[in-house]
Structure 1
Amino acid sequence: GKKIPKIQSGQIITDLDTIPVPDRSLIDKQSYDKHESMIFSRGCPYKCYYCSRPAVSNKVRYRSVSNMIDEIEMVYEHCGGIINIQDDSLTINKKKVHELCEEIINRKLKLEWECNTRIDLVTDELLGIMKKAGCSLIHFGIESGNEGLRKNQIQKGNFSNKRIKEVFGLCRKHGIKIACYFMLGHPGETKETLEETRQMILKSGIDVVGVSIPTPFPGSDLYDISEKAGIINNRTVDSFAEKRLGEGYIGNYPVYIPSGIQKEYLYGVMQNINRKFYINFKTFWQTCKKDIMSPKHLKKDAIDLVSLIVKGVSSRKPYTKKKNEAKKHAQKT
Structure 2
Amino acid sequence: MKRLLLINPSSENEIQSPLPYFVSEGKGVTPPLGILSIAAQAMQNTDYTTMLIDVQVEGLSYESLANKISQFNPDIIGITAMSMTVRDAYKTIQMSKKICPNSKIVVGGPHVNCYPLETAAWKDVDYAIHGEGEIVFGEFLREFSNRGYASGLKGVIYKDSDGVIENNERADYIKDLNSLPIPDRTILPYKKYSSIIMKKSPVTSILSSRGCPFRCNYCDRPSVGKAFRPRSVESVIHELKICNDIGIKSFLFYDDTFTVNRKRVIDFCIAITDSKLDIEFNIRSRVDTVDEEMLYYLKKAGCLGIQYGVESGSQTILDRMNKGITLQQIHDTVKITKKHNILTTAYFMFGNPGETRQDIKLTHEFMELIDPDYVMISIFTPYPKTKSYEEGIKRNLFEDVWKKLAEDPTIEFEMPVWTENFTTGELNKMLTDTYRKYYFSGKRILRQISSIKSIRELREKAKAAVKILKNRH
Q: Structure 2 length as normaliser, TM-score? A: 0.60
Matched, 1:167 2:333: yes
Q: CA deviation at 1:92?
A: 0.6
Give the alignment's Cα RMSD to 1 decimal. 2.5
* 1:52 and 2:243 correspond: no
Aligned length: 304
Aligned mates of 2:352, 2:394 — CA distance in 1:
15
Please give the alpha-carbon distance, in whole angstroms, between the structure 2 residues aligned to 1:303 and 1:103.
37
**Structure 1: gaps (5+ residues):** 247-251, 314-333
Output the CA distance in 1 between the equivalents of 2:361 and 2:333: 22
What residue is the counterpart of 1:129 in the other structure? Answer: 297
Residues 1-333 of structure 1 aligned to structure 2 (within 5 Å): 3-5=115-117, 6=120, 7=130, 8=155, 9-33=170-194, 34-53=202-221, 57-151=225-319, 153-157=320-324, 159-239=325-405, 242-246=409-413, 252-257=414-419, 259-284=420-445, 293-295=454-456, 298=459, 301-311=461-471
Residues in 2 aligned to 1:312 and 1:112: alpha-carbon distance in whole angstroms? 36
Once residues 256 and 188 of structure 2 are traced to their aligned partners in structure 1, the CA distance between those partners, rounded to angstroms, is: 24
Distance 1:182 1:312 in 2: 22
Q: C-alpha displacement at 1:303, in angstroms?
A: 4.5
- Alignment TM-score, normalising by the size of structure 1: 0.83
Q: Distance in 2 between matches of 1:23 and 1:285?
A: 41
Q: 1:99–1:296: structure 2 CA closer, same or farther, 3 Å change rule?
A: closer
Q: Give yes or no for contact 1:42–1:62 (8 Å, CA) kept in 2.
A: yes
Deviates more, 1:205-214 or 1:50-59: 50-59
**Partner amino acid for 2:351?**
G
Question: Structure 1 residues 244, 276: CA separation in 2 closer, same or farther (over 3 Å shift)?
Answer: same
Displacement of 1:109 in angstroms is 1.7
Identity over aligned residues, as a percent?
A: 28
Larger radius of gyration: 2
Task: Name whichever of 228-237 and 190-199 sits farther off.
Answer: 228-237
The answer (yes or no) to whether the contact 2:351–2:418 under 8 Å persists in 1 is yes
* Aligned equivalents of 2:229, 2:212: Cα separation in 1: 9
Aligned partners of 2:401 and 2:416 also within 8 Å? no
Instruction: Using the TM superposition, give the Cα deviation of residue 54 of structure 1 relative to its aligned residue in structure 2, in angstroms.
Output: 5.4
* Conserved? CA contact 2:115–2:403, under 8 Å: no
The 1:72/1:47 distance shift into structure 2, 3 A limit, reads same
Amino acid paired to 1:62: P
Partner SS for 1:37: strand
Q: Which runs of 4+ in 1 moved over 4 A?
A: 281-292, 300-303
Q: Distance in 2 between matches of 1:237 and 1:303?
A: 38
Q: Give the counterpart letter for 1:31 in structure 2.
A: K
Higher relative contact order (CA 8 A, sep 6+): 1
Kindly state the Cα deviation for residue 3 of structure 1 after the two structures are TM-superposed: 3.8
**More strand per residue:** 2
Which amino acid is 2:337 matched to? C
Residues 79, 51 of structure 1: alpha-carbon distance in 2 compared, 3 angstrom cutoff: farther
